């Protein structure tokens, strides 16, 4: 999954693709690089980010989704927690909703997604982007994230979303310390046990910066390592900014996994 951020303030590429033409060209490039899904977002979720209105978020993402639907061969996901934005994105041709609040911000998102027959990604987060990094605590982060995702999965299914359309995501960096993120990657098989595809979004995130001492523009090697380790532990969707190198890394990891002794 390639990231298309149509925002002025995303943590790694804010402001770069705010103009629709630039965002569409970027999405087309990511698909040419091998992305099968593009995740289009109009509101940053970086720690402390300011909320955006549904009108402004739609104004950012809808023209980009329309342009990508018309010009790329791949699934289009909308990264939003707002039902009004998701509704317009689905009408414009998106076929997946990526909701970092896992339907808690807009419970009506479930029916909307169900009616459209769209895929739905449910992600774990503590609090809101404004507050999530204020001293997050867990007794056991992996069991707590697992329990949360299990409950959200049941909620979505009870509201009509087909179980086979649901993807689960531990929410790397969303209300987690470096150690929490590492535990979630290390024990990813426990989340895979829930029986749904697991997506991970480690790309360029703060924990990689803390481990390597690298600035946000220089975290590709750390990002590749985290995705290969997540792949080995059963992740199947990798949300990244740098698609071509990620595909190379995963090809090598897959070849090792598939080789005969
Ligand atoms: N991470 C970000 C945004 N959306 N969605 C899911 N499901 N999982 C993630 O890990 C995830 C996500 C943060 O990355 P980015 O979009 O680059 O930054 P920003 O939120 O600042 O726009």
The per-residue pLDDT for range 45-77, each reduced to its tens digit, is 988 888 899 999 999 999 999 999 999 999 999
In terms of Cα–Cα distance, which of 94, 17, 65 is closest to 5?
Answer: 17
Neighbours of 259 (CB within 10 A): 7
Q: Which residues pair with 57 in a beta bridge?
A: none
Looking from the CA of residue 43, the nearest atom of ligand 1 is 22
Give mean pLDDT, residues 195-219: 98
Beta-bridge partner residues of 120:
97, 166
Q: What pLDDT is stored for residue 8 in this prediction? A: 93
Q: What whole-number percentage of the chain has pLDDT above 70?
A: 100
What pLDDT is recorded for position 129?
Answer: 81
pLDDT at 2 over 80: yes
| Cα–Cα dist 95/149, whole Å | 21
User: How far, in Å, is the centroid of ligand 1 from the Cα of 117?
Assistant: 23
Q: How far apart are CA 169 and CA 37, in angstroms?
A: 15
pLDDT for 50 equals 84
State whether the beta carbon of 100 lies less than 6 angstroms from ligand 1: yes
Ligand 1 mutation target, pool 15, 38, 184, 201, most atoms within 8 A of CB: 201
Q: Ligand 1 center to residue 45 CA distance, Å?
A: 6
Higher-scoring residue by pLDDT: 130, 16: 16
Ligand 1 neighbourhood includes 240 CB (under 6 angstroms): no
Active site residues: 205, 239
Q: Are strands 166-169 and 199-200 parallel, antiparallel or unpaired?
A: unpaired
Atom of ligand 1 nearest to the CA of 123: 7
Asked whether the predicted pLDDT for residue 131 surpasses 90, the reply is no
Is there a contact between 97 and 78 (Cβ–Cβ < 8 Å)?
Answer: yes
Atom 11, ligand 1: residue with shortest CA distance: 201
Name the residue of 1, 2, 3 to mutate for ligand 1: max ligand atoms within 8 A of Cβ.
3
CA-to-CA dists, residue 202 to 94, 216, 237, 256, 260, angstroms: 23, 12, 11, 22, 30
b/e burial code for range 140-167 (CB count within 10 A of at least 16 → b): ebbeebbebbbebbebbeebebeeebbb
What is the phi-psi region of residue 234: left when phi exceeds 0, alpha when psi lies from -120 to 50, beta otherwise?
left
Which of 37, 38, 41 for a ligand 1 pocket mutation test, highest count of atoms within 8 Å of Cβ? Answer: 41
- Evaluate: CB of 207 within 6 angstroms of ligand 1: no
First-to-last alpha carbon distance for the chain, in angstroms, is 31
When mean pLDDT is compared across 23-32, 87-96, 128-137, 249-258, the lowest value belongs to: 128-137
Mean per-residue pLDDT for 137-147? 96
Helix (H) or strand (E) holding 166: strand 166-169
Question: Look-up: residue for tokens 């697992």?
Answer: 146
Ligand 1, atom nearest to 49 Cα: 21
CA of 261 relative to ligand 1 center, distance in Å: 38
CA gyration radius for the chain?
17
CB of 239 sitting under 6 A from ligand 1? yes
Answer whether residue 132 shows pLDDT above 80. Answer: no
Is residue 67 within 6 Å of ligand 1 at its C-beta? Answer: no
Give, in order, the Cα–Cα distances in Å from 184 to each of 69, 107, 120, 142, 212.
34, 26, 21, 6, 19
Does the CB atom of residue 12 touch ligand 1 within 6 A?
Answer: yes
What's the pLDDT at 127? 80
Task: Tell me: pLDDT of 261 over 80.
Answer: no
| Mean pLDDT, range 159-177, rounded to an integer | 97
pTM of the shown model: 0.97
Measured between alpha carbons, how far is 95 from 108 in angstroms, rounded to an integer?
A: 17
Average pLDDT over residues 209-229: 98
175 lines ligand 1 (CB under 6 A): no
Q: Is residue 180 very low, low, confident or very high in pLDDT (cuts 50, 70, 90)? A: very high
Integer Cα distance of 255 and 104 in angstroms = 39
Residue 175: predicted pLDDT: 94
Q: How confident is the model at residue 118 (pLDDT cuts 50, 70, 90)?
A: very high
Is residue 44 over pLDDT 90?
yes
- Counting residues of the chain whose pLDDT is more than 90, the rounded percentage is 92
Instruction: Give the model's pLDDT for residue 174.
Output: 95
DSSP state of 184: H
- Assess whether pLDDT exceeds 80 at residue 163: yes
Average pLDDT in the 106-132 region?
92
Contact between 179 and 212 under an 8 Å Cβ cutoff? The reply is no
């Amino acid at each position: 999954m390639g990231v298309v951020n149509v925002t002025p303030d995303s943590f790694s590429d804010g402001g770069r693709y705010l103009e629709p033409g630039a965002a569409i060209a970027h999405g087309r490039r990511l698909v040419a690089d091998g992305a099968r899904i593009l995740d289009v977002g109009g509101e940053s979720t970086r720690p402390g980010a300011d909320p955006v209105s549904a009108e402004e978020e739609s104004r950012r993402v809808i023209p980009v989704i329309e342009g990508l639907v018309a010009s790329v061969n791949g699934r289009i996901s909308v990264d939003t927690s707002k039902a009004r934005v998701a509704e317009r994105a689905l009408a414009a041709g998106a076929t997946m909703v990526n909701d970092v609040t896992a339907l808690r911000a807009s419970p009506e998102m479930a029916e909307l997604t169900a009616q459209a027959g769209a895929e739905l990604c449910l992600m774990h987060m503590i609090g809101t982007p404004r507050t999530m990094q204020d001293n997050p605590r867990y007794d056991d982060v992996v069991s707590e994230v697992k329990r949360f995702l299990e409950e959200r999965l049941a909620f979505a299914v009870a509201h009509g979303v087909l179980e086979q359309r649901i993807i689960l995501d531990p929410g790397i960096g969303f209300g987690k310390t470096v150690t929490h993120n590492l535990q979630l990657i290390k024990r990813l098989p426990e989340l895979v046990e829930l029986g749904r595809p697991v997506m991970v979004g480690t790309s360029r995130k703060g924990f990689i910066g803390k481990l390597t001492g690298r600035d946000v523009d220089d975290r590709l090697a750390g990002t590749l390592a985290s995705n290969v380790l997540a792949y080995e532990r059963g992740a199947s969707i990798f949300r990244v900014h740098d698609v071509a190198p990620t595909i190379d890394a995963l090809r090598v990891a897959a070849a090792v996994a598939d080789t005969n002794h």
